[in-house]
Amino acid sequence: PVVSQMEELLPAAAGNLDLVTFNFFYHDTVNLGVDCAKMNRAVFNALKPGGIYIVADHSARLGTGISDTKSLHRIEESILRREVEAAGFRLAAQGEFLRNPQDTRDVQVQKNTVPNDEFVLKFVKPAQTRPTESNPM
């Protein structure tokens, strides 16, 4: 087990990982005041080139950004994607298997009467990586 701050999600010695998954909690990092840029860079630096970062979460309505993260436990997909890509990741695929167009996305996920609309994004660390704060190359 690893106990750490979200920004230091992985042990300093972690490296050359094949895969990191982050399921249905990214929206909570906003409420916790986590430095998501630092957290995503830590994941980026822990993955080997070509490594995969999967992020799944509850979908918020377009234009709501992070405003529904606490009240509805939802995050706008484009915001999450932009934050992860800013760390150097490239979007490789999107899973549609948890999508639900009947979800109005204006109800708290725990109280929804229909299955939640959820997204799954697959990011990849490019083989040629750009310098980062902790990996100046």
Handedness of CA 39, 41, 42, 47 (dihedral sign): positive
pLDDT digits (tens, 9 = 90+) for 13-30: 777 899 999 999 999 998
Helix (H) or strand (E) holding 92: strand 90-95
Helix (H) or strand (E) holding 41: helix 36-46
Q: What is the DSSP letter of 132?
A: B
pLDDT digits (tens, 9 = 90+) for 89-115: 999 999 999 999 999 999 999 999 999
Its pTM stands at 0.85
Helices 36-46 and 77-86 pack at an angle, to 10 degrees, of 60
